[in-house]
């Protein structure tokens, strides 16, 4: 059957774990983390580290994403715990995007391991939709070493739903004529946009499946869920009309990076190095996702576990590393009590994001094209050769990594439809 529009949703399977496993195998490892009980998580010695992603064998032990590591170890004493390596994830993310752009000029990043592509009009180059989806999936597996699911549908919502049907390394479709057989029988909680807190409300109304929601009376939904009821009912019927890449607002609220230091920081010089290292990673992620930020926040935690934070709103949004670093240093100086206060944890975060393509300039902070070119050049080198390949001179023999990349702290808000 011919369809007016075709959208792909591409989702890397167990992304962090797969990327770590592939990197290790490419560098001589014998053990494939994907084939044994393993997780990517925080500090393995910390009771507060959490599971970020898990292997399929780990899932069989009941290990859940988001649970603390000590609980995961109780379920599986031989669990392999791998610390997160965000620098590696950025490189893999970029490699994935480069491949997607070979199939379409319209690619929309949805998260670090997910993206939509507008395939409409590309049939003459890569073949019919299903043929192209398999070609894309297999190329990613064979050339990049990790697997993805590709969901195919007439809009972003149905493409995303299709990509979730079963994993890993699969292609699924969900066209309008397939909604009743493929989507409606699923539990209502599996509909994108229906959050955990909404599921009990729907179940109390005897709305148990997506099909139940699709056929629920409008007045019933309005009475119990207000305008949100109409939105999720439209989704249950596969109605979604936004274009790929048509976001007016960024899909993330902010980008942050924090790190616990192995020693007590008690000098301004050391603190500035830590702030610069954290800012390097934050700004790399900011530029890679195509945003600029106007609000900069810095948090600290002292050796006695006390903590506080300050924030500053700049005159104009920016993605420049040095400008954001300068703001972070000013914020730290404002709240630090001096050498008597030992700092063990630092955090840098940017928010109030705007798309870089629509940047509003300020006469108070002139746009510096040279700094922009420098940042872009350093990013390209680091994406290709790793985050340690280029470093600022202040880090030489300092004992502080030139780019710190802790657990990623992007915030992806739950959206009622796919913007």
Q: What is the pLDDT of residue 269?
A: 92
- Of 20, 106, 114, 280, which one is the catalytic site residue? 114
Active site residue 114: yes
Q: What is the pLDDT of residue 369?
A: 74
List the structure tokens of 359. 């940047």
Q: Which percentage of the chain shows pLDDT scores above 90?
A: 51
More confident site: 298 or 304: 298
Q: What is the pLDDT of residue 33?
A: 94
Q: What is the pLDDT of residue 363?
A: 53
Q: What are the chain's domains?
A: 1-177 (3.30.70.270), 184-236 (1.10.150.20), 254-395 (3.30.1490.100)
Residue 250: is its pLDDT beyond 70? no
Q: Average pLDDT for residues 109-129, to the nearest whole number?
A: 89
Least confident of 42-56, 97-111, 361-375, 401-415: 401-415
Q: What is the pLDDT of residue 414?
A: 31
């Amino acid at each position: 059957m011919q369809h007016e529009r075709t959208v792909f949703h591409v989702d890397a399977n167990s992304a962090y774990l797969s990327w770590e496993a592939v990197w290790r195998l490419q560098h001589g490892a014998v053990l494939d983390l994907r084939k044994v009980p393993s997780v990517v998580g925080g500090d393995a010695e910390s009771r507060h580290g959490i599971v970020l992603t898990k292997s399929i064998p780990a899932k069989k032990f009941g290990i859940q994403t988001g649970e603390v590591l000590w609980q995961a170890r109780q379920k599986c004493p031989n669990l392999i715990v791998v610390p997160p390596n965000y620098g590696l994830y950025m490189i893999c993310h970029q490699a994935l995007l480069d491949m997607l752009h070979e199939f379409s000029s319209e690619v929309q990043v949805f998260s670090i391991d997910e993206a939509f592509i507008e395939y409409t009009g590309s049939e003459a180059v890569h073949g019919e939709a299903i043929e192209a989806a398999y070609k894309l999936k297999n190329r990613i597996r064979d050339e990049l070493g990790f697997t993805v699911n590709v969901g195919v549908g007439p809009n972003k919502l149905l493409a995303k739903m299709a990509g979730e049907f079963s994993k890993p390394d699969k292609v699924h479709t969900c066209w309008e004529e397939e909604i009743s057989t493929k989507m409606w029988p699923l539990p209502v909680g599996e509909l994108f946009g229906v959050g955990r807190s909404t599921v009990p409300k729907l179940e109390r109304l005897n709305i148990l499946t997506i099909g139940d929601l699709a056929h629920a009376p409008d007045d019933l939904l309005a009475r119990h869920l207000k305008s949100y009821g109409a939105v999720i009912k439209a989704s249950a019927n596969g109605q979604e009309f936004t274009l790929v890449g048509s976001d007016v607002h960024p899909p993330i609220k902010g980008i942050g990076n924090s790190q616990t230091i192995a020693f007590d920081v008690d000098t301004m010089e050391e603190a500035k190095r830590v702030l610069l290292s954290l800012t390097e990673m934050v700004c790399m992620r900011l530029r890679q996702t195509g945003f600029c930020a106007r609000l900069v926040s810095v948090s600290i935690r002292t050796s006695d576990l006390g903590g506080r934070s300050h924030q500053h709103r700049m005159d104009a949004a920016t993605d420049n590393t040095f400008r954001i670093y300068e703001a972070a240093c000013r914020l730290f100086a404002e709240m630090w009590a001096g050498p008597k206060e030992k700092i063990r944890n630092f955090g840098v975060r940017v928010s109030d994001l705007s798309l870089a393509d629509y940047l509003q300039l300020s006469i108070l902070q002139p746009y510096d094209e040279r700094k922009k070119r420098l940042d872009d050049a350093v990013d390209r080198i680091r994406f290709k050769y790793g985050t340690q390949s280029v470093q600022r001179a202040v880090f030489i023999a300092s004992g502080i990594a030139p780019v710190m990349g802790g657990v990623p702290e992007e915030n992806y808000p739950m959206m009622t439809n796919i913007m």
